[in-house]
Structure 1
Amino acid sequence: MIEGILAGMRVVEASAFVAAPLGGMTLAQMGADVIRIDPLGGGLDHRRWPVTADNTSLFWCGLNKCKRSVALDLASGEGRELAMALITAPGEDAGLFLTNFPPRGWLDPDALRQRRPDLIQLTLQGDRHGGSAVDYTANARIGMPFITGDPDATEPVNHVLPAWDLIAGQLVATGLLAAERHRRRTGEGQHVRLALQDVALAALGNLGFIAEARAGQVRERHGNELFGAFGRDFVCADGERVMVVGLTGKQWRSICDALAIGPAVDALGARLGLDLRREGDRFRARRELAELVRPWIAARPMSEVAQVFDQHGVCWSRYQTLAQLVNDDPECSAANPLFREFDQAGVGPVLAPGTPLTFQASLRVPAGPAPLLGQHTEEVLHELLGIDQAAFGKLIERGLVLGLAS
């Protein structure tokens, strides 16, 4: 068994949907022992789409790989007591807890730290006031749907990728690791808060959107065009579509060399009074530049375009469907060390990614399956709380826990 760089660390998780489970899985795929606590029938996301024909959630399986699962009767006081005992169980590299549920009741950080003063709890919230928010509502509030889509569109266009959830998931992992480092130096635990809406706002500010709006500049919709430089999609002679990008000077020179349009580009720059070596000027002249690029691509099949582009180091990609990615692209296969094929309980054979990080000091932990709900309840209660087989059997009889034989 390969030990990841976080081997020995123990994290308890009570979560649902994307960001918090992703944060836990990020740590698990680096070797941490991540124990997910759920109610007996499964959490809010236990049947989240997409699902198999028999209603097994591919979503849940995808975001809980490499974790251990404990299922408890969280509606009862005794079940909640077991959960709190697991969260605060002793261990030098333990006492780490993440959740995206309201921090009250058995999730109250003050109550938990009375049991373990050095506990680190990270609570992910919708907004900084503790209100509810999801990626779609955060995205709507910050204005992104009004700069996404076709330039002629007037209605908002939602993005299907939950960007803020994905960023928040990584910040969950980062926040726990930062707080754990602080605890190693000082012995202090703490309650760390993170708001999904603040994640979106921070990204907006970091990328210059807020400064742009405060300066009175209105960001328009640009369809498939790259904002601020040259980049857009083109159609090849065989109907295949490619994305071509000239963001940096080197990328732009590669396009000009591949298509032999250097003299035409120089003439265009002189005519427009623009220095097309500058990315901003390339954006201003994007439509005229596209008319120099379009005919060359339109006259050739994608295979020839690919050969010439690769020969000259052009930054480009073919547009392909998810089915084409999965069935035809070697990067999305076991040929890529990121991926591993295994049998996922309730699903069957799957191709699943591990961590994208490659550490020189540690081998990559192979992707592992998500647990069955409650698969590790008996194992974890014995390891952390000393509950033996007989005592566990009585817990099952009383309906307080879910085990594999339940």
Structure 2
Amino acid sequence: MTPTTETPSPARPLAGVRIVEISSFVAVPLAGMTLAQLGAEVTRVDPIGGAADYRRWPVTDGGESIYWAGLNKGKRSVAADMRSEQGQALVQRLIAGSGVLITNVAGRQWHSYDTLREMRPDLIHVEVSGRADGGTGVDYTVNAGVGFPMVTGPAELAAPVNHVLPAWDVSCGIYTALAVVTALRHRDTTGEGQRIAIPLENVALATAGNLGFFTEVMVNGTARERIGNSVYGQYGQDFVSSDGAAFMVVALTGRHFGDLAELTGTTKAVAALAESLNADFTDEGQRYEHREALSGLFGEWFSAHTADEITAALSSSSVLWERYRSFAEAAVAPKVTDNPLFSTLEQPRIGTYLAPGLPISIAGQYPPAVAAPALGDDTAGVLGDWLGLSGEQVDALVRAGTVATGLPL
């Protein structure tokens, strides 16, 4: 651990750790932000002019990236010419001084583990790649090859359906942060660094395997089919109210299922259905197998009641449920506006809004969001703090085009 003057606290357990991030897009930026929210001093190093995600959508009316600001909160930013030998050497010094590098810019010899380890023997080097064989890949291409788009969407649909959430990027980002934390512990106890590789595709493959999607094929010889908005192996279904509001309803347990039948006035009808089908609805698997018939019974009640009536009835039961909402509706709902996870953030160049901090409560508090820098905002400060360069030395590097400072977002 590279010490700084900051004193660790329960809410900032990584205070005193310095990390260099060379990245773009989602996985590694999310990892770096998570580590920063846990107290680490994370410096993102980008090429002069910005990496590929610096102006990525969504953007403000003025063209400034909401996306970039959202994934780089609480970091410091250095802009350097990483194509030049001088720029590479400077960044190498930053990495060696911090002792930790996280990156998804794979295959660059100048910041490879073998090269940097010569400068810092106890280096922690975490590299995210597209595929384990060294091939490239992003969330959406990886997802296409794993199988999820073929079981997403309405049951009658034949074409693949991509989900809009970059699930593997997000999971990979959390795995990356976890890898850094465990490697720091390993280094503290042994004095040794670690070389860690995290292929994005392997994160997706492991998840599909852990959740049984692959095991079904390997053991049972059957593959998962599309079931629309039903919940596989359980009873769960979406319903629409008389005034057009959509609800997702899930009954995981016998109590949930019994309450759903009671509030919809179908207890006797459900019992009669079970008898006619010779089914046992105390068994979750049989509730799933006969979901269409059950949904036909429950659906009549939903279609005959307003959204407010449905909300009141479901709220007084044990049934798991939520009303479908758009991002616009959720953003102004109490789950955001009255949630201590969110705090008011004044983000330069973007505006003032409610921003999430770390979604983990530590000692009863959520570490709040901290504004993201603009590209190169901290170039001079980091070079001074980490490398001891004077203002004149930094100015010389700027004039030489080796680094840049304070570029607009």
1:191, CA displacement in angstroms?
Answer: 0.8
- The aligned residue for residue 3 of structure 2 is none
- The aligned residue for residue 53 of structure 2 is 45
Q: Give the stretch that moved more between structures: 99-108 or 200-209.
A: 99-108
Task: Say which of 131, 134, 140 aligns to 2:138.
Answer: 134
- Confirm whether residue 288 of structure 1 aligns to residue 289 of structure 2: no
1:177, CA displacement in angstroms?
Answer: 0.9
2-structure distance, mates of 1:184, 1:307: 54
- Confirm whether residue 344 of structure 1 aligns to residue 352 of structure 2: no
The C-alpha deviation readout for 1:35-74, integer Å capped at 9, x for no partner, is 1000110111111111122221111111101111011111
- Confirm whether residue 196 of structure 1 aligns to residue 196 of structure 2: no
C-alpha contact 1:67 1:370 (8 A) present in aligned 2: yes
**Aligned amino acid, residue 104 of structure 2:** N
Mapping for residues 85-164 of structure 1, pairs under 5 Å: 85-89=93-97, 94-164=98-168
- The aligned residue for residue 301 of structure 1 is 306
Mapping for residues 156-195 of structure 1, pairs under 5 Å: 156-195=160-199
Mapping for residues 61-80 of structure 1, pairs under 5 Å: 61-80=69-88
SS at the partner of 2:249? strand
Q: How many residues align?
A: 399
Q: 4+ residue stretches of structure 1 with deviation over 4 A?
A: none
2-structure distance, mates of 1:405, 1:393: 15
**Aligned amino acid, residue 180 of structure 2:** L
TM-score (normalizing by structure 2): 0.94
TM-score (normalizing by structure 1): 0.95
1:350, CA displacement in angstroms?
Answer: 2.4
Q: 1:405 and 1:202, CA in 2 relative to 1: closer, same or farther beyond 3 A?
A: closer
- The aligned residue for residue 230 of structure 1 is 235
The C-alpha deviation readout for 1:313-332, integer Å capped at 9, x for no partner, is 221000111111113x1112
The C-alpha deviation readout for 1:74-100, integer Å capped at 9, x for no partner, is 1211111110000011xxxx4111000
2-structure distance, mates of 1:117, 1:363: 37
**Aligned amino acid, residue 344 of structure 1:** Q
- Confirm whether residue 220 of structure 1 aligns to residue 247 of structure 2: no
1:405, CA displacement in angstroms?
Answer: 8.3
C-alpha contact 1:228 1:279 (8 A) present in aligned 2: yes
1-structure distance, mates of 2:91, 2:47: 10
C-alpha contact 1:4 1:31 (8 A) present in aligned 2: yes
Q: Which 5+ residue runs of structure 1 have no aligned equivalent?
A: none
Q: Which 5+ residue runs of structure 2 have no aligned equivalent?
A: 1-5
C-alpha contact 2:96 2:116 (8 A) present in aligned 1: yes
C-alpha contact 1:338 1:353 (8 A) present in aligned 2: yes
1:235, CA displacement in angstroms?
Answer: 0.7
2-structure distance, mates of 1:307, 1:4: 41
1:256, CA displacement in angstroms?
Answer: 2.2
The C-alpha deviation readout for 1:134-173, integer Å capped at 9, x for no partner, is 1111111111111111111111111111111111110010
SS at the partner of 1:166? helix
1:382, CA displacement in angstroms?
Answer: 0.6
SS at the partner of 2:118? helix
Q: Give the stretch that moved more between structures: 249-258 or 45-54.
A: 249-258
Identity %: 43
1-structure distance, mates of 2:223, 2:82: 50
2-structure distance, mates of 1:253, 1:115: 65
- The aligned residue for residue 282 of structure 2 is 277
1:185, CA displacement in angstroms?
Answer: 1.4
Task: Say which of 235, 255, 263 aligns to 1:250.
Answer: 255
2-structure distance, mates of 1:302, 1:370: 40
SS at the partner of 1:232? strand
2-structure distance, mates of 1:259, 1:66: 49
2-structure distance, mates of 1:182, 1:259: 56
Q: 1:405 and 1:45, CA in 2 relative to 1: closer, same or farther beyond 3 A?
A: closer
1:359, CA displacement in angstroms?
Answer: 1.6
- The aligned residue for residue 401 of structure 1 is 403
Q: 1:293 and 1:14, CA in 2 relative to 1: closer, same or farther beyond 3 A?
A: same
